């Protein structure tokens, strides 16, 4: 590593920190722009919601695979040119996606964006940590890095809603391209031509492992995302996707165990704390995905405007910031990670049990404000400690592999969360809708009375009698559908709340976790 600064001498330290932080948002924009408002993005591309979810999997999966080979590129190219090319290409891909309506081409561009998302993230985090001289530099750096990841979504969603209300959807992509151009300008102004690392030749990159793991990730994602829609094993596409995922995944693992210098060292899994961190990360992302149910209820059942739903997410952001501040204090005071995990998952349990009673035909902002902030606080409390716990679970030379394990946990936790919520919601809603319809049969006296009353209301508003009758039946069916959604949501949240209690009990009783904080502390502070 070079001792020469890669920043121009006139740039103050506070400005360097601010610029690095701003440039780190590049990854959040690449990942979040097309998932910030799935409905509008899907309509623009004329695809289904599952297709947009799959495109997110492609981007994040490519990001995960690229992390395996990222350091080779960073150590080969000059630092300044490295970032200029990345941000320039990111701007170009956003411009192309703004004018792309072909979904296959869109997926290819999203793969490119996944690569561009991965290349700068680790170097920037390394730069950020190096700017802080205190023993808590790692905590501060990781908190800023992952705090940006957590807080980017509300900002992107609110910007998306504003753009959609005033402009066309493509301006979302063009605005994101402008953000990348700003990053180019900042790099040009503040970086000098020095290298951060001594140049290492660009050879012996394990492209075979990259292709194998990327294929396994994409095929596995396809299986999980589209499984329910294609009736699982009744579809030959789903079967082929699963077989390819298993074969390529198996070849990747075998290759890493056989070669002398593996791209990913499988020995990292021999450390119990890493396995625990991976499991908790997957659980964290699964339980975090239930927030989408709240947003869906706001749209579908409570009929809130998109701008109102977007603004509500600032409440969640307040919770995230509060949780991260608390966690920063806990970590600085050497509070055992086990207690932080217990607090975070307990907050998740309270959120789910509380929100269970808010799935009613109508609710106000005041009703949901506190539990909504509690969910954010749970995320803020857990995220950074989980990352640090996983990375510090192994000896220092295994740390890069532990970091990749953490990213994999976040990726598969997100995918599994989407699949669980999607499949559970579909099954429960279908079951309840079928049961409720038995009570609104046309020959039922209660139904006839209700239809008659609603028909009179529509006639009074100026509708013809036949139209009024059809609208009355449609309103009843809509009411039944909403009731089935609310009941399904209550059941999912209740089950998730009990699941969180089981996790908390496990953390309370697990003897191994009680003995690991000294290792964690030594890895972070070097004591």
* Dihedral class, residue 132 (left if φ above 0, else alpha if ψ from -120 to 50, else beta): beta
pLDDT at position 40: 57
pLDDT, average across residues 157-175: 70
pLDDT at position 484: 82
Give the tens place of pLDDT for each residue, 302-352.
Answer: 888 777 777 788 888 888 888 888 888 888 787 888 888 999 999 999 999
Between 49-66 and 207-226, two packed helices, what is the crossing angle to 10 degrees? 160
pLDDT at position 437: 64
End-to-end CA distance of the chain: 23
Distance CA 48, CA 38 (A): 9
Which residue did the predictor score with more confidence, 6 or 255?
255
Per the CB < 8 A criterion, the answer to whether 404 and 264 are in contact is yes
Residue 269 lies in a domain: no
Distance CA 482, CA 459 (A): 24
Distance CA 451, CA 466 (A): 12
Question: Residue 202: pLDDT above 80?
Answer: no
Tell me how far CA of residue 40 lies from CA of 55, 99, 160, 223, 361, in angstroms.
Answer: 14, 15, 10, 24, 25
> For 162-176, 203-217, 249-263, 476-490, which range has the lowest pLDDT when averaged over its residues?
162-176
Give the tens place of pLDDT for each residue, 253-290.
Answer: 898 888 888 888 888 888 888 888 888 888 988 898 88
Domain co-membership, 401 together with 255 = no
pLDDT, average across residues 473-488: 75
Distance CA 344, CA 316 (A): 15
Domain co-membership, 117 together with 132 = yes
Give the tens place of pLDDT for each residue, 8-27.
Answer: 888 888 888 888 888 877 77
pLDDT at position 219: 92
pLDDT at position 1: 43
Provide the token pair at 497.
Answer: 């709340």
Question: Residue 495: pLDDT above 90?
Answer: yes
pLDDT at position 527: 45
Residue 191: strand pairing partners: 7
Question: Residue 353: pLDDT above 90?
Answer: yes
Confidence of residue 464 (pLDDT cuts 50, 70, 90): low
The length of the chain, given as a count of residues: 527
Domain co-membership, 254 together with 294 = no
The whole domain housing 455 covers: 439-492
**Residues near 168 by beta carbon (within 8 Å), at least 6 away in sequence:** none
The CATH number linked to 332 is: 1.20.1250.20
> For 63-77, 81-95, 477-491, which range has the lowest pLDDT when averaged over its residues?
477-491
Listed residue (422, 476, 435) closest to 38, CA to CA: 422
pLDDT at position 345: 93
Confidence of residue 392 (pLDDT cuts 50, 70, 90): confident
Residue 140 lies in a domain: yes
Domain co-membership, 100 together with 137 = yes
- Residue 7 phi, psi (nearest 5): -105, 150
pLDDT at position 156: 67
Residue 466 lies in a domain: yes
Question: Residue 140: pLDDT above 80?
Answer: no
Residue 411 lies in a domain: yes
Domain co-membership, 336 together with 390 = yes
Q: What is the DSSP string of 225-243?
A: HHTTTTTGGG-HHHHHHHH
Question: Residue 193: pLDDT above 90?
Answer: no
Question: Quick count: other Cβ atoms within 10 Å of Cβ 509?
Answer: 9
Listed residue (430, 527, 433, 412) closest to 478, CA to CA: 433
Give me Rg for the CA atoms of the chain.
Answer: 25
Listed residue (332, 344, 335) closest to 383, CA to CA: 344
The burial of 279, by beta-carbon neighbours within 10 Å (0-12 exposed, 13-18 middle, 19 or more buried), is given as middle
Confidence of residue 239 (pLDDT cuts 50, 70, 90): very high
Confidence of residue 502 (pLDDT cuts 50, 70, 90): very high
Residue 7: strand pairing partners: 191
Provide the token pair at 72.
Answer: 């080779």
Which of 171, 186, 206 corresponds to the end of one domain? 206
19's enclosing H/E stretch is: helix 13-32
- The alpha carbon dihedral of 398, 400, 403, 409 has a sign of negative
Distance CA 282, CA 294 (A): 21
Q: Does the predicted model carry a pTM greater than 0.85? A: no
Per the CB < 8 A criterion, the answer to whether 419 and 228 are in contact is yes
How many domains, the chain? 4
Provide the token pair at 467.
Answer: 């139209």
Distance CA 24, CA 83 (A): 11
Helix ranges restricted to H, 191-305: 207-226, 236-258, 272-288, 291-300
Domain co-membership, 364 together with 505 = yes
Distance CA 141, CA 315 (A): 24
pLDDT at position 244: 93
Domain co-membership, 52 together with 182 = yes
Return mean pLDDT, the chain. 79
pLDDT at position 157: 67
Listed residue (192, 168, 182) closest to 25, CA to CA: 182
Give the tens place of pLDDT for each residue, 111-135.
Answer: 888 888 888 888 887 887 777 776 6
Domain co-membership, 391 together with 475 = no
Confidence of residue 2 (pLDDT cuts 50, 70, 90): very low
Distance CA 91, CA 89 (A): 5
Per the CB < 8 A criterion, the answer to whether 277 and 406 are in contact is yes
Provide the token pair at 207.
Answer: 């492209």
Domain co-membership, 88 together with 233 = no
Residue 41 lies in a domain: yes
| Tally of CA atoms within 13 A in the half-sphere of 203 that contains its CB | 1
| Tally of CA atoms within 13 A in the half-sphere of 165 that contains its CB | 11
Domain co-membership, 195 together with 306 = no
Domain co-membership, 368 together with 401 = yes
Residue 373 lies in a domain: yes
Residue 268 lies in a domain: no
Listed residue (410, 422, 426) closest to 481, CA to CA: 426
Question: Residue 362: pLDDT above 60?
Answer: yes
Residue 227 lies in a domain: yes
Question: Residue 176: pLDDT above 70?
Answer: yes
**Residues near 409 by beta carbon (within 8 Å), at least 6 away in sequence:** 277, 278, 279, 281, 282, 285, 390
pLDDT at position 517: 47
Domain co-membership, 434 together with 485 = no
Question: Residue 524: pLDDT above 50?
Answer: no
The three-point CA angle 406-411-415 to 5° equals 145
Listed residue (91, 83, 85, 84) closest to 109, CA to CA: 91
Question: Residue 425: pLDDT above 50?
Answer: yes
* Residue-wise burial string across 89-109, b where 16 or more C-beta atoms lie within 10 A, e elsewhere: bbbebbbbbbebeebeebbeb
């Amino acid at each position: 590593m070079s001792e020469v600064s890669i920043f121009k001498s006139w740039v103050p330290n506070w400005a360097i920190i601010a610029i690095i932080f701003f440039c780190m948002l590049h990854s959040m924009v690449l990942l979040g722009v097309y998932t910030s408002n799935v409905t509008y993005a899907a309509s623009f591309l004329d695809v289904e919601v599952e297709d947009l979810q799959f495109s997110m999997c492609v981007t994040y999966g490519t990001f995960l695979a690229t992390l395996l080979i990222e350091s080779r590129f960073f150590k080969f190219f000059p630092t300044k040119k490295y970032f200029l090319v990345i941000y320039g290409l990111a701007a170009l891909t956003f411009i192309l996606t703004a004018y792309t309506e072909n979904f296959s081409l869109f997926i290819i561009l999203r793969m490119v964006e996944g690569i561009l998302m991965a290349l700068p993230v680790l170097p920037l985090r390394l730069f950020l940590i190096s700017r802080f001289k205190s023993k808590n530099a790692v905590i501060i750096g990781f908190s800023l890095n992952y705090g940006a990841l957590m807080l980017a979504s509300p900002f992107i969603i609110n910007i998306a809603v504003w753009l959609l209300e005033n402009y066309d959807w493509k301006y979302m992509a063009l605005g994101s391209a402008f953000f990348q151009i700003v990053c180019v300008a900042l790099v040009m102004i503040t970086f000098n031509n020095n290298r951060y690392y001594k140049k290492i030749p660009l050879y012996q990159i394990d492209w075979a492992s990259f292709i194998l793991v990327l294929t396994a990730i994409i095929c596995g994602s396809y299986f999980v995302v589209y499984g329910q829609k294609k009736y699982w094993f009744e579809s030959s596409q789903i079967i082929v996707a699963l077989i390819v995922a298993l074969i390529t995944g198996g070849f990747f693992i075998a290759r890493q165990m056989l070669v002398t210098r593996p791209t990913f060292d499988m020995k990292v899994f021999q450390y119990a704390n890493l396995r625990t961190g991976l499991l908790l990360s997957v659980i964290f992302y699964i339980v975090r995905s239930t927030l989408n149910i709240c947003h869906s209820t706001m749209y579908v059942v409570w009929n809130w405007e998109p701008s109102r739903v977007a603004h509500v997410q600032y409440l969640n952001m307040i919770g995230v910031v509060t949780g991260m501040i608390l966690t920063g204090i806990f970590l600085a005071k050497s509070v055992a990670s086990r207690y932080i995990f217990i607090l975070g998952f307990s907050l998740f349990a309270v959120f789910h049990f509380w929100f269970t009673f808010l799935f009613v035909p109508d609710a106000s902002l005041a009703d949901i404000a506190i539990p909504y902030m509690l969910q954010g606080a749970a995320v803020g409390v857990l995220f950074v400690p989980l990352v640090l716990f996983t990375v510090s679970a192994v000896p220092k030379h295994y740390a890069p592999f532990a970091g990749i394990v953490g990213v994999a946990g976040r990726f598969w936790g997100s995918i599994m969360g989407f699949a669980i919520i999607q499949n559970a919601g579909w099954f429960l809603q279908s079951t309840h809708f079928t049961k409720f319809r038995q009570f609104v049969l046309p020959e039922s006296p209660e139904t006839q009375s209700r239809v008659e009353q609603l028909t009179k209301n529509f006639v009074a508003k100026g509708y013809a009698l036949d139209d009024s009758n059809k609208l009355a039946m449609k309103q009843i069916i809509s009411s039944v559908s909403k009731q089935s959604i609310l009941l399904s949501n209550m059941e999912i949240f209740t089950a998730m709340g009990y699941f969180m209690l089981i996790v908390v009990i496990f953390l309370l009783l697990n003897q191994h976790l009680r003995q690991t904080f000294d290792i964690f502390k030594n890895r972070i502070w070097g004591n």
